């Protein structure tokens, strides 16, 4: 009786992996080659997005346009900082592609794997030892006085603010069609939980844990100091109208920008899709905050009674 044929190796999890690097950074080439080689040795098919391939001159990997990337990959690994991840997340979130971030930037709230540990950490995650987190996005719609519209997504925040002429703007804020306040200020930030540790935090806004379904409205340098940050349910529709301001603008994640004229209105709602982030299995949101924000006390420095040693 003939011996049974050897079993074929099981296909890898996330068989098709796209690598997306921070565009224009000469330091991206070596980490990109290192991770691509690691993935190929594991049996994954590796592709590059068009902008990354154009910059690094890669010849040994398929190149995918943004459109092809959305349907031809099981996982995207992003090499760079949080700005790179914000851009990629907005592109791929509507298509449900999970994202892993390798930190080549500074803080790395969204890119949490250091290059020094990349093979060990990625290997475990690709074998299924990871935690998945779904993050809310905002759909911002600009409604102009002439009837035209523009739309963009934001993962961090939408900011309505003054421009370069230096004068405050006057705006009106409504929630679910109800008047909330009129305000003179440098601007207003509408932040997701992800964005609560970004620009909103630097202007005195609250940190919102990822599991909390809320948006933060944070005034920027309001003329009346009684205007304070507030949190509202992320099921709400938030509208900000510019009543006075010669050079106002709206910015989505600091990457999509639209000029605003007096009478223009920005309407914001929770997007119908979420961004999928994969983290190492030991990932802990509050431990990440302690590290990134340099909170002083750690569990190791506390005695069982909870008093700092």
Please identify every residue annotated as catalytic.
Answer: 82
The backbone region for 245, taken as left when phi is positive above 0, alpha when psi lies in -120 to 50, beta otherwise, is: left
- Kindly list the distances between the CA atom of residue 57 and the CA atoms of 53, 255, 289, in Å, as whole numbers in the listed order: 5, 25, 37
Going by C-beta distance under 8 Å and a sequence separation of 6 or more, which residues neighbour residue 123?
Answer: 38, 42
Report the DSSP beta bridge partners of residue 101. Answer: 78
CB contact set of 161 (below 8 Å; sequence gap of 6+):
169, 186, 187, 188, 220, 248, 249, 251
All residues at 6 or more sequence positions from 85 whose CB lies less than 8 Å from its CB, including other chains: 78, 99, 101, 110, 111
For the chain, the straight-line distance linking the first and the last C-alpha, in angstroms and rounded, comes to 72
d(CA 180, CA 192): 19
The CA-atom distances, in angstroms, between 94 and each of 81, 97, 98, 128, 272 are 21, 8, 11, 23, 8
Burial class of 219 by CB neighbour count within 10 A (0 to 12, 13 to 18, 19+):
buried
170 and 244 in contact (C-beta within 8 Å)? yes
Taking alpha carbons only, the member of 266, 289, 168 closest to residue 217 is 266
Residue 46 near residue 69, CB atoms below 8 Å: no
């Amino acid at each position: 009786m003939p011996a049974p044929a050897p079993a074929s190796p099981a296909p890898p999890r996330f068989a098709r992996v796209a690598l997306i690097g921070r565009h224009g950074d000469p330091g991206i080439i070596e980490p990109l080659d290192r991770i691509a080689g690691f993935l190929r040795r594991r049996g994954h098919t590796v592709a590059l997005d068009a902008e990354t391939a154009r910059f690094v001159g890669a010849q040994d990997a398929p190149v995918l346009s943004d459109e092809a990337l959305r349907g031809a990959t099981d996982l995207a690994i992003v090499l760079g900082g949080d700005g790179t991840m914000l851009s990629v997340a907005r592109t791929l979130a509507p298509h449900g592609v999970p994202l892993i971030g390798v930190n080549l930037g500074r803080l790395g709230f969204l890119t949490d794997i250091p290059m020094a540990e990349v093979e060990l950490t990625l290997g475990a995650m690709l074998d299924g030892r990871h935690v998945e987190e779904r993050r809310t996005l905002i759909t911002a719609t600009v409604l102009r006085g002439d009837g035209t519209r523009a739309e963009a997504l934001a993962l961090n925040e939408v900011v309505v603010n003054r421009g370069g002429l230096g004068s405050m703007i006057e705006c009106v804020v409504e929630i679910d069609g109800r008047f909330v306040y009129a305000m003179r200020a440098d601007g207003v930030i509408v932040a997701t939980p992800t964005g609560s540790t970004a620009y909103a935090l630097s202007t005195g806004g609250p940190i919102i844990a990822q599991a909390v379904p809320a948006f933060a409205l944070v005034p920027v340098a309001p003329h009346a100091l009684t205007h304070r940050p507030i949190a509202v349910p992320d099921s709400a529709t938030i509208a900000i109208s510019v009543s006075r301001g010669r050079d106002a603008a709206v910015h989505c994640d600091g990457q999509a920008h639209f000029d605003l004229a007096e009478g223009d209105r920005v309407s914001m709602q929770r997007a119908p899709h979420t961004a999928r982030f994969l983290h190492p299995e030991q990932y802990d949101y509050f431990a990440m905050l302690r590290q990134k924000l340099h909170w002083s006390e750690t569990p190791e420095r506390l005695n069982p009674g909870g008093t700092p040693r």
